[in-house]
């Protein structure tokens, strides 16, 4: 099915099942422990051996030699794989560094060996006996130090300029010129990167924790120099990914290599201390923002430049994208700069680009609003735009930022906010409110599905789509139930298998909308097949209550499969509506904080997100996505930071003992409001995505609230005590 025109009325609009707050159908399996994750496939391989990864002890240099003698003779050891004995390996296109290092070392904790043994403890003990002699080299590990030498845009990301920014900014009555920084951050998903591999001759099966099954299959086949058809990847359950599991990582490759060497199934879970350095992370940024307005507060000039670093072949953090579209202004400039750093690879983390970009932009908007003498919400409303500022002929398909702001202001009690900072106290706590806009593009991508109808009237959906804790099983079941007129319990959903049709996968906020649109397309074909079997006109047939009706005639749905299961397959392909319309999602985030007047401790008291994100397919699972994102935004604002050892080139706090993430005690009252935002330009589902939008802007809202509470403006994340203490008002 090709989606080339805005959607008209279709069966999804009945909203008998879609749009309802159903419980997750995978919930019982997960809460009873019967949902098997990648590391737990004892049913498939009861004799699996254990792999333990040895990570490089240097950040840049070469391996002079590896002594494996003691490790080979350790109890239980079956095999040890290094770059010397792994055989010829290719390199996928989606990772900057090689996944098995040697002799060259490209970053700290790059995998240099995997030890396979009968038990986990034996593999770990033997890995300690692997002796690696390194030649250490000096590398580039400090973005601030490398930034002055980065003056040109990276390949493929040219600067974007509209009008004459320099002249307009110089002539502006009100000006802001400020620099903001965001740190390196780690995904820290609950489930470790984990894989289990089994060989049968030349055919490889890998169960893995990966968000994009088809990407993983392609990259694994390319790296192992296998035919794609000889690789099967399964990922039916994933315990969180946040972008860290979008690509093939070392656990899957080394499980495959270890299994081949040991001639046994092998499973590997990357030990937690390896994950920040061995896998990917959100790279740090230095962002320079300039905004000029006239005396009334209308933006005349806006510029946003961002510096980030990566390994050779890596990409920049696209932190300026939202600034191209969020606010009006005739004179504009955005640009990205990329420094070569020898830190581990920087790559996608929940809402890549917009999350760190809005951490800076939405503080800057509050700062310029104050300079212009305007309330922060009034300033944002004044500078709203219904068109792409650089291409005024290109309208937004739906844009309800103003409605998000006004709805949130009323619900949150914004009118009670004191406009003068550091004026409100509750005992020892200084109280403040903050706001920020949220923005994330609506991305869609080709997605396929296969649907079966059997003689009992059971509908089964198969697609390689993944569920990373987001509710994919449930919304896919809801889509099929709505399209075929059956109750939710008559739909079975099978996900995460590369033998199923290729879907969008889970990432970029495109998963829910794209994957359900693919199921929609397959269900349209199944409706046609059912109608033909029953002698109905498919265009007139109504599928309701497990029956098919046209006028006074009706038949049971299952009758169409009386002679055998009906099976159809289709793929949704998106045309060029994104060129005619700018498709985006919007939010307004509101936060109330308390700041201890003596210690500077920040406590978030209340949080509210108002989201306009297309049709909400399941309000219950969508709300869970948003409150999870809000929690992640709190962590980014107040505590999350990978600390770089700038002498040796690695992330020091590479475990959950030192890399702080929010816990239950940190999380206050959280409320989520979804506006009616059905968007026919987006897809046949008229949905968009919300899982990343819920994060975009949250951190800035917290920092803006802290400023309102204390009068202290912090531009460097995370907002830790040392950045507040010296500037807090005198105790009275």
Q: Which of 684, 458, 429, 437 is nearest to 567 (CA)?
A: 458
Cα 180 to Cα 77, 123, 591: the distances in Å are: 51, 45, 20
**Number of residues assigned to the chain:** 732
pTM: 0.98
Q: Which of 341, 378, 424 is nearest to 150 (CA)?
A: 341
What is the spatial distance between Cα 722 and Cα 726, in angstroms, rounded to a whole number? 7
Q: Is 692 a catalytic residue?
A: yes
* pLDDT value of residue 137: 98
How high does pLDDT run on average in the chain? Answer: 97
pLDDT at 181 over 80: yes
Residues 6+ apart with CB under 8 A from 445: 504, 510, 514, 574
* pLDDT value of residue 143: 98
* pLDDT value of residue 685: 98
pLDDT at 730 over 90: no
pLDDT, mean of residues 394-409? 98
pLDDT, mean of residues 318-344? 98
pLDDT at 260 over 90: yes
pLDDT at 212 over 80: yes
Q: How confident is the model at residue 598 (pLDDT cuts 50, 70, 90)?
A: very high
Beta bridge partners of residue 329, listed in sequence order: none
Give the β-pairing of 391-395 and 194-200.
unpaired
Task: Please write the tens of the pLDDT for every residue from 607-628.
Answer: 999 999 999 999 999 999 999 9
Task: Please write the tens of the pLDDT for every residue from 629-649.
Answer: 999 999 999 999 999 999 999
> What is the CATH number assigned to the segment(s) 353-442+583-727?
3.30.365.10
> What is the CATH number assigned to the segment(s) 2-35+444-578?
3.30.365.10
Query: What percent of the chain has a predicted confidence (pLDDT) above 90?
Result: 99
Whether the domain at 2-35+444-578 and the domain at 353-442+583-727 fall into the same CATH topology: yes
Phi, psi of 146 (to 5 degrees): -80, -20
* pLDDT value of residue 184: 98
pLDDT, mean of residues 178-190? 98
pLDDT, mean of residues 706-714? 98
* pLDDT value of residue 731: 80
pLDDT, mean of residues 58-75? 98
pLDDT, mean of residues 536-548? 96
Task: Please write the tens of the pLDDT for every residue from 116-136.
Answer: 999 999 999 999 999 999 999
Sheet containing 2-3: order of strands: 2-3, 566-574, 447-453, 459-463, 491-495
Task: Please write the tens of the pLDDT for every residue from 372-382.
Answer: 999 999 999 99
Residues 6+ apart with CB under 8 A from 577: 3, 4, 5, 6, 397, 583, 681
What is the spatial distance between Cα 228 and Cα 410, in angstroms, rounded to a whole number? 55
- Specify whether the CB–CB gap between 649 and 680 falls below 8 A: no
Q: Two tokens at 569?
A: 């397959």
- Specify whether the CB–CB gap between 436 and 637 falls below 8 A: no
Q: How confident is the model at residue 57 (pLDDT cuts 50, 70, 90)?
A: very high
Q: Which helix (H) or strand (E) holds 650?
A: strand 650-651
Residues 6+ apart with CB under 8 A from 564: 455
Query: What percent of the chain has a predicted confidence (pLDDT) above 70?
Result: 100
Q: Two tokens at 193?
A: 């990167």
Residues 6+ apart with CB under 8 A from 497: 213, 232, 233, 234, 236, 462, 464
DSSP-derived letter for residue 156 is T
Sign of CA dihedral 113, 116, 120, 123: negative
The domain locations on the chain are 2-35+444-578, 353-442+583-727
Task: Please write the tens of the pLDDT for every residue from 228-248.
Answer: 999 999 999 999 999 999 999
Sign of CA dihedral 515, 518, 524, 527: negative
What is the spatial distance between Cα 132 and Cα 19, in angstroms, rounded to a whole number? 57
Task: Please write the tens of the pLDDT for every residue from 69-81.
Answer: 999 999 999 999 9
Match 């930034």 to its residue by tokens: 147
Beta bridge partners of residue 161, listed in sequence order: 333
Active-site residue identified among 93, 462, 692, 730: 692
In a 3-state reduction of DSSP, which class is residue 526? helix
Match 């098995």 to its residue by tokens: 100
pLDDT, mean of residues 81-100? 96
**Count of alpha carbons within 13 angstroms of residue 309, beta-carbon side:** 24
pLDDT, mean of residues 249-255? 98
Sign of CA dihedral 368, 331, 357, 395: positive
What is the spatial distance between Cα 203 and Cα 194, in angstroms, rounded to a whole number? 20
């Amino acid at each position: 099915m090709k989606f080339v025109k805005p959607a008209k009325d279709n069966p999804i609009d009945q909203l008998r099942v879609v749009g309802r707050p159903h419980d997750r159908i995978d919930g019982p399996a997960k809460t009873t422990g019967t949902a098997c994750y990648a590391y737990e496939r004892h049913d498939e391989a009861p004799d699996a051996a254990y792999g333990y990864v040895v990570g490089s002890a240097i950040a840049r240099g070469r391996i002079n030699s590896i002594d494996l003698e003691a490790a080979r003779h350790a109890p239980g050891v079956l095999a040890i794989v290094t770059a010397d004995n792994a055989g010829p390996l290719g390199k996928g296109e989606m990772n900057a560094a090689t996944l098995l290092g040697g002799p060259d070392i490209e970053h700290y904790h790059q995998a240099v060996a995997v030890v396979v043994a009968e038990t986990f403890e034996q593999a770990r003990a033997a890995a300690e006996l692997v002796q690696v002699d390194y030649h250490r080299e000096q590398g580039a590990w400090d973005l601030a130090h490398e930034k002055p030498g980065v003056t040109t845009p990276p390949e493929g990301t040219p600067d974007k300029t509209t009008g004459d920014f320099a002249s307009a900014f110089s002539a502006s009555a009100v000006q802001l010129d400020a620099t903001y920084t965001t740190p390196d951050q780690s995904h820290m998903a609950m489930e470790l990167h984990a894989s289990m591999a089994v060989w049968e001759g030349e055919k490889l099966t890998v169960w893995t924790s990966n968000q994009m099954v088809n990407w993983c299959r392609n990259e694994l086949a390319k790296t192992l120099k296998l035919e794609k058809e000889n690789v099967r990847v399964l990922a039916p359950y994933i315990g969180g990914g946040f972008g860290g599991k979008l690509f093939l990582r070392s656990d899957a490759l080394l499980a495959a290599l270890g299994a081949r060497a040991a001639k046994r199934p092998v499973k590997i879970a990357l030990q937690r201390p390896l994950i920040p350095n061995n896998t990917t992370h959100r790279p740090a940024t230095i962002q320079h923002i300039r905004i000029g307005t006239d005396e009334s507060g209308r933006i005349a000039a806006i510029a946003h430049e961002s510096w980030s670093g990566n390994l050779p072949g890596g990409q920049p953090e696209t932190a300026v994208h939202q600034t191209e579209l969020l606010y009006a202004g005739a004179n504009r400039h955005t640009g990205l700069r990329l420094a070569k750093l020898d830190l581990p690879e920087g790559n996608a983390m929940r809402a890549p680009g917009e999350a760190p970009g809005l951490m800076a932009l939405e503080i800057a908007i509050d700062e310029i609003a104050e300079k212009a003498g305007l309330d922060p919400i009034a300033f944002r409303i004044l500078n709203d735009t219904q068109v792409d500022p650089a291409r005024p002929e290109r309208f937004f398909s739906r844009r309800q930022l103003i409605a998000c702001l006004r709805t949130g202001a009323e619900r949150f009690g914004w009118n009670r906010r004191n406009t003068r900072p550091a004026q409100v106290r509750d005992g020892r706590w200084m109280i403040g409110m903050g706001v920020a806009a949220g923005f994330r593009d609506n991305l869609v991508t080709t997605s396929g599905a296969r649907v079966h109808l059997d003689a009992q009237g059971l509908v089964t959906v198969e697609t390689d789509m993944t569920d990373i804790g987001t509710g994919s099983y449930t919304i896919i079941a809801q889509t099929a139930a709505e399209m075929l007129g059956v109750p939710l319990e008559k739909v079975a959903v099978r996900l995460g298998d590369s033998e199923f049709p290729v879907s969008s996968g889970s990432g970029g906020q495109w998963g829910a909308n794209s994957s359900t649109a693919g199921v929609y397309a397959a269900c349209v074909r199944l409706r046609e097949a059912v109608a033909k079997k029953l002698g109905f006109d498919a265009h007139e047939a109504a599928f309701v209550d497990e029956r098919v009706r046209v006028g006074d005639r009706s038949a049971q749905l299952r009758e169409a499969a009386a002679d055998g299961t009906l099976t159809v397959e289709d793929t949704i392909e998106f045309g060029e509506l994104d060129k005619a319309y700018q498709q985006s999602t919007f939010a307004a985030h509101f936060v109330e904080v308390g700041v201890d007047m003596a210690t500077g401790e920040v406590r978030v008291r209340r949080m509210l997100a108002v989201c306009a994100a297309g049709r909400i397919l399941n309000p219950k699972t969508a709300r869970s996505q948003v409150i999870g994102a809000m929690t992640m935004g709190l962590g980014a604002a107040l505590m999350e930071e990978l600390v770089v050892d700038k002498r040796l080139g690695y992330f020091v706090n590479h475990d959950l003992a030192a890399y702080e993430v929010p816990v239950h005690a940190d999380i206050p009252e959280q409320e989520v409001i979804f506006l009616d935002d059905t968007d026919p330009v987006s897809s046949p589902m008229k949905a968009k995505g919300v899982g990343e939008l819920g994060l975009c802007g949250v951190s800035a809202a917290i920092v803006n609230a802290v400023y309102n509470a204390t009068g202290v403006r912090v531009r460097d994340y995370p907002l830790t005590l040392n950045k507040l203490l010296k500037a807090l008002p005198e105790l009275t």
